[in-house]
């Protein structure tokens, strides 16, 4: 007799097909995208840390807060851009 968990997994597998298999080339492209965007985010963080230290030295706390919000916004937009590009690669995968 199957448990409720096993039955739920069977139903889930029936309603949603297994994820498509990625080729080695697609996996390589995904890894390159991850690497490239990690570098972009790190580059942006380094730049912003310099701006934060300048603002902290001048005692401009409003600028510090604004710079931190901008960094958060930049991270989110870069992550969204990365996921969009990765999704395009995944859509071309064969089931």
Mean pLDDT of 64-89: 95
Cβ atoms 29, 89 nearer than 8 A: yes
Q: How confident is the model at residue 82 (pLDDT cuts 50, 70, 90)?
A: very high
First to last CA, the chain: 31
| Domain coordinates in residue numbering, the chain | 22-91
| pLDDT at position 80 | 97
Q: What are the φ/ψ torsions at residue 94 (nearest 5 degrees)?
A: -90, 140
pLDDT tens per residue, range 19-70: 778 889 999 999 999 999 999 999 999 999 999 999 889 988 899 999 999 9
């Amino acid at each position: 007799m199957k448990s409720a968990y096993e039955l739920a997994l069977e139903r889930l597998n029936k309603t949603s097909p297994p994820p498509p298999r990625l080729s080695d080339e697609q996996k390589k492209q995904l890894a390159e995208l991850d690497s490239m965007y990690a570098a972009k985010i790190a580059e942006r963080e380094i730049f912003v840390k310099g701006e934060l230290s300048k603002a902290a030295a001048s005692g401009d706390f409003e600028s510090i807060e604004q710079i931190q919000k901008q960094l958060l916004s930049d991270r989110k937009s870069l992550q969204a851009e990365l996921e969009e590009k990765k999704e395009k690669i995944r859509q071309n995968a064969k089931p």
